[in-house]
Amino acid sequence: MLRNGLEPWHLLIVAIVVIVLFGSKKLPDTARALGKSMRILKSEAKAMKDEGDHPAVPTVVEPTDVTRGPAAS
């Protein structure tokens, strides 16, 4: 159905549309923000993977003395 769906001229058209929509002045800032977001996503994914490899030691929660008020009638 989608044979040859992504040819080089398609990418060229997409690039031209992006430049026209955002302007050439905003593109470096947008690329920088995208790079930061990708780094954060990568580090969070790595942290989740590392957490899965080394399960956390369960901690024991001590019950606390809770003083309850008068029961509702």
Q: What are phi and psi of 29, to 5 degrees?
A: -65, -40
- pLDDT, one tens digit per residue, over 2-11 is 566 778 888 8
Tell me the helices (H) and strands (E) count for the chain, helix number first.
Answer: 2, 0
- pLDDT, one tens digit per residue, over 13-55 is 998 998 888 888 888 888 899 999 999 999 999 998 887 766 6
Both tokens of 59, joined, read 């901690």
pTM equals: 0.46
